[in-house]
Amino acid sequence: MGQRAATLAAPGFTLIELVVTLMVLALALAVVGPTIGRTTDTIRTRAEVARFSALFRHAREQAITTQRPHELIVDPAAHRVTLRAGEEVRQTRSLPEHLTVQAEPAVALTVRFEPHGTTSGGTFRVASGNTRYRVTVDALTGRVRTARE
């Protein structure tokens, strides 16, 4: 009988303690989960905007390196960006379906990069869900800036 009493009094968790602990964990996940999801979407959008901005920098670099004018043509309806040197298409990249791009003014969807570094300039609003960025290409210097709105 002495061993049986020792077995019953062995240290451990009761079923009620385990259930309460699991309920607290479930409640914590329910509160934190949506925040993590929004943060992930924001990070993904920031990476996509960085890729979009990098295309402008690449086009400028190619114009200077090859000493030929290059154009970056943004086609928001087709979710596509095309890099051209004269009539030759050098590169085409797809944009994610959920990413919206608007040029300011709306007709300025083509940015021309000259061999000496200047551009026609342009401003683009890039958004995914509630996350919005402004990508600006400076006409005089060709510098590309990205700012969250």
> What are the two backbone dihedrals, phi and then psi, of residue 115, each rounded to the nearest 5 degrees?
-60, -25
Which pLDDT belongs to residue 84?
95
% residues pLDDT > 90 (the chain): 60
Sheet holding 110-113, edge to edge: 88-94, 80-85, 70-75, 110-113
For residue 31, pLDDT over 90 is answered with no
CA gyration radius, the chain: 27
CATH 3.30.1330.20 is the classification of domain 12-148: no
Q: 69 Cβ partners below 8 Å, 6+ apart?
A: 63, 85, 86, 112, 113, 114, 115
- For the purposes of burial, counting CB atoms within 10 Å of the CB of 9, is it exposed (0-12), middle (13-18) or buried (19 or more)? exposed
For residue 3, pLDDT over 70 is answered with no
**pTM exceeds 0.75 for this model:** no
Higher pLDDT, 5 or 37: 37
Question: Average pLDDT in the 2-21 region?
Answer: 72
- Grade residue 36 by pLDDT with cuts at 50, 70 and 90: low
| Gap between the Cα atoms of 1 and 97, Å rounded | 72
